[in-house]
Amino acid sequence: MITDEDTPEDGNEEDGGFDGYPTKEFFINMLTKDIDLIPAIIDLVDNSVDGARRTRESDESNFEAFQVSLELDPDQFRIKDNCGGIPLDRARQYAFRFGRPKDADFESGSIGQFGVGMKRALFKLGTEFRITSTSNEARFQIEVDVENWSDPDQNWNFEPDELEERGFDSEETGTEILVRELRDEVSSYFGQERFRNRLRDELKSRHMRTMQKGFSIRLDGQPLEPRWPELLQSEEISCAFKKEDIVRGDSEIEKTFYVGLGDSTEAEDAGWYLFCNDREILGADKSEQTGWGYDGRIPRFHSEYNHFRGFLFLETEDGEALPWNTTKTGVEAGSRFFHGLREEMIQLMDPVISFLRAVAKEDEEESPGADAIEDAELAELPDLDIDGNQEFRAPNPNVERRPDKAHIRYSKPLQKFEEVKEELGVQTKKEVGEKTFDFYYRLTCD
Amino acid sequence: MCPSYRDVDFSLRPAKAVARKVVMEAVRTLVRGPGIDIRSYQYLGLGGIHFVDFRMVHREFGIDNMTSFEKDRDHKSRFRFNRPYGCVDLIFQRSHEGLATVSWSSPTILWLDYDGMIDKDKLNDVSTFLASAPSGSLLFVTLNVRPEVDPTRLALGEEEVKEKALTQFKRRVGAENVPSDVDPEELIKDQPSVAYRILDEHVSTKIEDLNGSRSDDSQRRFDQLIHLSYSDDADMLLWGGVLSDKEEVEDLASCPFEEMEFYSPGNEPEDIVVPSLTKRERRWLRSQLPSPAGEGVDQDLIQERDVERFERIYRFFPEFIEARI
């Protein structure tokens, strides 16, 4: 591991200057201080997902062939995946450096783009680690004993102990990381069931989308089951749905909203969920960030609103355009893009909150809102009855409709609408609606 | 104190009648755009018990998708009874609750004809419109702009009174919505201009926020069309404009808003004043309009000032008659 390169610790003491280089200890401490154990482990899983994204065929939506398995033991941590390994040039250029050099090849859709994840996670876990990577063109293995590496006489590089540059079959590719000499608190956490449960839950929500697309995650031999969130629907209640492509400059971001009512009993499940490229960035958020108590349109969260669920999925090849912070645990609050999204969240949330507020005021005898909720059924997001963008619908007891008329509102695909409009020989949407209704009426009821 | 025959009968609110016609004129101008299908629009407003604007809109434009917000829940049957047409939905909620529950799938004409002064709820109503309404929608807002605090009290303790005015104002409007350079004296001496600034600033900020997550092609804008002040028994401000998204601006481009009577996109309001003239005097002046009217008129007969005022609004002048039915 020792090389001959000059060490940065050779300060300018001889010139009377002060050595400005940080010590490695300081660096390691700072690096590991601001991340907790669970996010650190999740960072490693992120890298696997990244690898899978890099390696998979052009069929973008599938992760079926890929998997990662985690083993947590009191004396060792192991993560192993089949996600293509770490390409040699990445390893050389920056997988083993800190931060990412500006000229690094921009990685489409990558969630691990900030470069610090793996190193930080490993330093957090323990002091001896071994990384084995097999990619299409090379296999290498690096063993690090952090104590030795921290020695100020050593430089900041890592050198592989084994390196084989030749072609490997795809089935052989993947990465395995083993950490020994676990830090005391890590060892103790690994012995706790409660810790495992929390890790499992976090992995499930943060990688919900990737798992739904076929990616497999195992924890101590047990596969994690993906689950879609659910919303209520019925004749009287339907969720809001809004899907749009945002094109700004060179980036294209697909934005999808589902907003409606879920199962109430847990207040902790209520709120906004934000996914950036399949990774959950905000879960059950009830803060000002997502509009609650921000400007008076939406009040601060209250148990009256336990039914509220809002889901926002953002997908793009241009990972940099997404409004997330460096640790991928939250949003970049100052981002203009996020301000716009918050406005949209407020606009979509408003009718649902209004409805729930009205329900809270209903009395026992007359409760059309509460009844409608009782009668509605939960359905997973992909199974919802949705036909294009639509507004939230629920009974509003404060509305007095025109006495003798029913007001029918619905959306239909534009293509079909144009065809019917032409057939009928009319000009406006209203006429299309009226004439198609009259046509059916004459056919059946008249 | 002027002689009473110089006063207008305030109970008829003639200045309000003119303001109402200005709103109709804006809608009429919208209709002139060839891409605009006015029958597909919905009309939202605060009809009260008389529903005057609802009647006008339905009669003139045939819009039959209309909703009135009514906060008085204790006399629902009276409002139901006075509903002018079957096509008017009533929502017994204040506008800031009701606006969240209407459908925004149709282009919308929303007239928030408030009686009260500017406050947070009203600003939120404007936000809801800007965020929810489709391109081609129109928004009008009427506000009471009387002085924040009775000006005669200024004499009693200027600093204190000004402080009070500012605190009260901030509380009502939300401190975050009040620019730091608002002069408390203005709140007492020139409330309309402060109210306008708050409104204008609020719209710009909201539009900018909204555009943060919109495509380059569908960037929103709001163009002010009307900014008027008028007064019957209270000082009022009428403000309004049109909302458009970049890719749909074609439809609106051919609406001749700039040629519209009372087009007022600027920061200073145009003042509507209804001169006190008898029916005979008006008939005489009208017979000469639109050429300059009242030339060489004896100043004892009709004041030049009133002639000018009449010229400005003669097409919108409300004629009230009593008829035996």
Tell me: pLDDT of A58 over 70: no
- Contact: A341, B215; criterion CB under 8 Å: no
Looking at the partner chain, which of B80, B120, B132 has a beta carbon nearest the beta carbon of A296? B120
A176 CB contacts (<8 Å, ≥6 apart)?
A: A78, A79, A80, A81, A131, A132, A133
Q: What is the pLDDT of residues A126-135, one digit of tens each?
A: 889 898 999 8
State mean pLDDT over B277-300: 76
Predicted confidence band at B128 (pLDDT cuts at 50, 70, 90)?
A: very high
Q: Which residue has the higher pLDDT, B26 or A329?
A: B26
State mean pLDDT over A38-67: 83
pLDDT at residue A98, as a whole number: 43
CA contacts within 13 A on the Cβ side of B264: 21
Tell me: pLDDT of A101 over 50: no
Residue A416 in tokens: 């079909």
CB B197 within 8 A of CB B123: no
B5-24 burial, b if ≥16 CB within 10 A, otherwise e? eeeeeeeebbbbbbbbbbbe
Instruction: Tell me the CA distances in angstroms from A17 to A444, B8, B189, B303, one per residue in order.
Output: 95, 88, 66, 89
- Contact: B209, A355; criterion CB under 8 Å: no
State mean pLDDT over A37-53: 88
Per the listing, tokens 């009855």 go with: A385
pLDDT at residue A110, as a whole number: 41
Instruction: Tell me the CA distances in angstroms from B12 to B48, B203, B321, one per residue in order.
Output: 16, 33, 11
- B19 vs chain A: nearest CA distance in angstroms? 28
- Contact: A342, B209; criterion CB under 8 Å: yes
AA letter at B258: E
Residue B239 in tokens: 């403000």
Q: Which residue has the higher pLDDT, B158 or B196?
A: B196
Per the listing, tokens 């045939």 go with: B62
Residue A424 burial class via C-beta count within 10 angstroms: exposed 0-12, middle 13-18, buried 19 and up: middle
Residues of A in contact with B210 (CB under 8 A): 340, 343-344
CB B23 within 8 A of CB B111: yes
- Contact: B37, A340; criterion CB under 8 Å: no
β-pairing, B42-45 with A222-223?
unpaired
The sign of the dihedral angle between the CA atoms of A280, A284, A287, A289 is: positive
* 3-state SS string for chain A: CCCCCCCCCCCCHHHCCCCCCCCHHHHHHHHHHCCCHHHHHHHHHHHHHHHHHHHCCCCCCCCCCCEEEEEEECCEEEEEECCCCCCHHHHHHHHCCCCCCCCCCCCCCCCCCCCCHHHHHHHHHEEEEEEEEECCCEEEEEEEEHHHHHCCCCCCCCCCCEEEECCCCHHHCEEEEEEEEECHHHHHHHCCHHHHHHHHHHHHHHCHHHHHCCCEEEECCEECCCCCCEEEECCCCECEEEEEEEEECCEEEEEEEEEEECCCCCHHHCEEEEEECCEEEEEEECCHHHCCCCCCCCCCCCHHHCCEEEEEEEEECCHHHCCECCCCCCECCCCHHHHHHHHHHHHHHHHHHHHHHHHHHCCCCCCHHHHHHHHCEEEEHHHCCCCCCECCECCCCCEECCCCCCCCCCCCCHHHHHHHHHHHCCCCHHHHHHHHHHHHHHHHCC
Sheet with A271-276, edge to edge strand ranges: A240-248, A251-261, A308-316, A271-276, A279-285
- Contact: A355, B101; criterion CB under 8 Å: yes
Among residues A117, A115, A160, the alpha carbon closest in space to that of A142 is found at A160
pLDDT at residue A325, as a whole number: 83
Predicted confidence band at A411 (pLDDT cuts at 50, 70, 90)?
A: confident
The ipTM estimated for the assembled molecules is 0.89
Lowest-pLDDT range of B78-87, B138-147, B311-320: B311-320
Among residues A230, A208, A368, the alpha carbon closest in space to that of A307 is found at A230
Residue B263 in tokens: 């087009």
State mean pLDDT over B258-279: 90
Predicted confidence band at B216 (pLDDT cuts at 50, 70, 90)?
A: very high
Q: What is the pLDDT of residues A196-239, one digit of tens each?
A: 998 998 898 888 888 988 899 999 999 998 878 899 999 899 99
- B324 vs chain A: nearest CA distance in angstroms? 32
Residues linked to residue A68 through DSSP beta bridges, in sequence order: A81, A217
Chosen for mutation from B39, B63, B213, B246 (greatest number of chain A CBs closer than 10 Å) is B213
Interface of B with A in 64-83 (CB under 8 A): 65, 76, 80
pLDDT at residue A22, as a whole number: 57
Distance, in Å, from the CA atom of A84 to the CA atom of A172, rounded to the nearest integer, reads: 8
Looking at the partner chain, which of B103, B120, B206 has a beta carbon nearest the beta carbon of A391? B103
Distance, in Å, from the CA atom of B226 to the CA atom of A64, rounded to the nearest integer, reads: 59
Distance between start and end Cα atoms, chain B: 37
CB count, 10 Å around CB of A107?
Answer: 17
Lowest-pLDDT range of A99-108, B26-35, B72-81, B227-236: A99-108
Distance, in Å, from the CA atom of A161 to the CA atom of A140, rounded to the nearest integer, reads: 7
